Amino acid sequence: MIESIGLFFFLCGMAWCWESRRRKTFSVRPGLHEEIDLPFDQDFELYHNDFSLCSKKVRVCLAELNVDHGSHHIDLIETRSYENLSREFLNVNPAGTVPVLVHRGHPIYESHEQIRYAADHCGEEAPRLVPENSDTVEEMNLWVERASLTGDDPIAAMATSAGNCIPGLTLPLFSAMVEKIPVHRILTGLLFHRLRVRPIIFLAMKIVGIRRLRHLKPAVGVIRNSVRYMKVHLDALELKLEENGGVWILGDMFSLADVSWVVIFDRMREADCADVFLGGDLRPRVTAYRDRLFARASYAKGIWNHEHPAVRRGTERLQEAKRIDPQLRALLAG
Ligand SMILES: N[C@@H](CCC(=O)N[C@@H](CS)C(=O)NCC(=O)O)C(=O)O
């Protein structure tokens, strides 16, 4: 009996080693990789996920630039399964993350690099999303960075960007969404993810569930800090909009900075926490700015048209849990 169990674990170990060698995963340098050649049908091809914050940013950008492109939807565990860890996708991005923008077969990694690249290579006729003046470009870059999701551990860098506050603000929504995901799919992440802490967090969310989330101390701490830092970033944005007196971050010119912020507001909508930060007397300039962003055609094309049923169900489940448990609602209010 003991020998059979030993043999079973030995064979599992062998199978894991064999498969891991075919799913090689490692971090990649941001930017264009001319040395990599991937198959392509159109000049621009986008590997993305409906729910992913960074994918939304690139879709909005391509919509603003009127760039026709090929589309490859890649599932993440939140929407169904770890397709981002499949052999095929790791061939496109060994880091196992979306989005990946591919230009004539060459991948560009990191969404803030992708939007800059697209704005620079989309042809003369496209609307300009980058100013001429170098000081203004620098200012734009600061606001792009302040909305970016950066590094392998964004939660450790919430003070540097509103984008890094997003995973924490999304924890309750993740927890509601993961209720529908079978455990064995999360196990794929435990076996093959480059950043094992990510599937571990999903497994913890799955075990604890949305109803008991407020009893999970580390999660509570992360949510509270995310709310606190997000308020700091939004206050800075309120001040910026007041100073420049314009409708967009750079004043009258719509730029990559605005493309980067629209997704932050959209995630607040999905995670049912927009009213913690905006509306009523709260940050009136940012509230009006958010509404202007949502009214643009690029929001409909890049975000609304990609609404995913798993996200809709997750938001509804979260709203229901908050209705039943006022303490959960209070936690999410910061
Ligand atoms: N800094 C990267 C972030 C990439 C990233 O972490 N993407 C997330 C979705 S927004 C992802 O692919 N997560 C899948 C996973 O880690 O399993 C970028 O801006 O492109």
> Which atom of ligand 1 is the closest one to the Cα of 199?
17
**Cα 293 to ligand 1 centre (Å):** 23
> Which atom of ligand 1 is the closest one to the Cα of 198?
16
Q: Could you give the angle at which helices 217-244 and 197-208 cross, rounded to 10 degrees?
A: 110
Our CA angle for 121, 48, 126, nearest 5°, is 25
Q: How far is the C-alpha of 162 from the C-alpha of 174, rounded, in Å?
A: 18
Q: For ligand 1, atom 10, which residue shows the shortest CA distance?
A: 52
Can you name the CATH fold of 14-131? Glutaredoxin (3.40.30)
Q: Is the pLDDT of residue 334 over 80?
A: no
**Cα 308 to ligand 1 centre (Å):** 17
Check residue 53 and give its pLDDT: 98
Compute the half-sphere exposure of residue 192: CA atoms within 13 Å on the CB side of its CA.
Answer: 30
- Tens-place pLDDT, residues 247-281: 999 999 999 999 999 999 999 999 999 999 999 99
Spacing of C-alpha 162 from chain mean position:
12
The Cα-based distances of 284 to 80, 95, 230, 261 in angstroms read: 37, 39, 16, 16
* Amino acid making up residue 291: D
Contact (Cβ atoms closer than 8 angstroms) between residue 266 and residue 315: no
Q: Is 259 helix (H, G, I), strand (E, B) or coil?
A: helix
Q: For ligand 1, atom 12, which residue shows the shortest CA distance?
A: 97
Which of 48, 73, 97 to mutate for ligand 1's pocket (most ligand atoms within 8 Å of CB)?
97
Spacing of C-alpha 182 from chain mean position:
22
Ligand 1 pocket residues where CB is under 6 Å: 52-54, 76, 84, 97-99, 110-112, 149-150, 198
Listed by start position, the domains of the chain span 14-131, 137-332
What DSSP character marks residue 246?
S
- Tens-place pLDDT, residues 211-253: 999 999 999 999 999 999 999 999 999 999 999 887 999 999 9
Confidence class of residue 22 from pLDDT cuts 50, 70 and 90? confident
Residue 104 main-chain phi, psi, to 5 deg: 45, 40
Q: For ligand 1, atom 15, which residue shows the shortest CA distance?
A: 97
Q: How far is the C-alpha of 243 from the C-alpha of 239, rounded, in Å?
A: 6
- Tens-place pLDDT, residues 80-92: 999 999 999 999 9
> Which atom of ligand 1 is the closest one to the Cα of 85?
17
> Which atom of ligand 1 is the closest one to the Cα of 97?
12
* Amino acid making up residue 244: N
**Cα 97 to ligand 1 centre (Å):** 5
Place of tokens 């989309």: 122
